[in-house]
């Protein structure tokens, strides 16, 4: 009997890649905090997760195997600009360092949680294969 990894791993296999990409975007915001006219960006996690878990999409990459990861979740279509919480400081930059640092830490914790969930799933699969 074959193991269906989509069912065995659940949604956590997709969340890991999305959270890694979100960490890159937030780190870019922090790095450009002093860049004039830089607009803070973020990844819409819900849209990215929906794109990753659905097997449909307009112009998606062709996959030779149904088990290949759908890269639509990591595409630019799931990025957006952050609505600033503070008034413009005069240079057109919308990065709020406190917000970015808070979001980065929250994302890092959620990334660790996803890793923990996947570790638990793999441990369960190993036990099932060994017959323990």
In a domain, 5, yes or no: no
In a domain, 35, yes or no: yes
Computed from CA positions of residues 53, 57, 59, 65, in that sequence, does the dihedral angle turn out positive or negative?
Answer: positive
Cross-strand pairs, 81: 41
The reported pLDDT for the residue numbered 57 is 44
The reported pLDDT for the residue numbered 45 is 87
Q: For residues 92 and 3, what is the distance between their CA atoms, to the nearest angstrom? A: 52
The reported pLDDT for the residue numbered 59 is 42
Number of domains in the chain: 1
In a domain, 33, yes or no: yes
**pLDDT single digits (tens) 21-65:** 999 999 999 999 999 999 999 998 888 888 877 754 444 455 566
Computed from CA positions of residues 42, 43, 47, 49, in that sequence, does the dihedral angle turn out positive or negative?
Answer: negative
Range of the domain at 18: 11-130
In a domain, 4, yes or no: no
**pLDDT single digits (tens) 52-108:** 777 544 444 555 666 665 555 555 567 888 888 877 778 989 999 999 999 999 999
């Amino acid at each position: 009997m074959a193991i269906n990894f989509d069912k065995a791993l659940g949604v956590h296999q997709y969340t890991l890649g999305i959270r890694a990409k979100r960490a890159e975007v937030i780190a870019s915001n922090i790095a450009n905090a002093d860049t004039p006219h830089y607009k803070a960006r973020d990844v819409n996690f819900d849209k990215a997760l929906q794109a990753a878990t659905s097997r449909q999409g307009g112009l998606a990459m062709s996959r030779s195997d149904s088990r290949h990861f759908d890269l639509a979740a990591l595409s630019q279509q799931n990025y957006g600009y952050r609505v600033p919480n503070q008034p413009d400081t005069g240079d057109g930059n919308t990065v709020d360092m406190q917000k970015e640092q808070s979001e980065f830490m929250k994302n890092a914790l959620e990334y660790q949680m996803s890793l923990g969930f996947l570790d638990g799933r793999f441990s369960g699969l190993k036990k099932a294969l060994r017959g323990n």
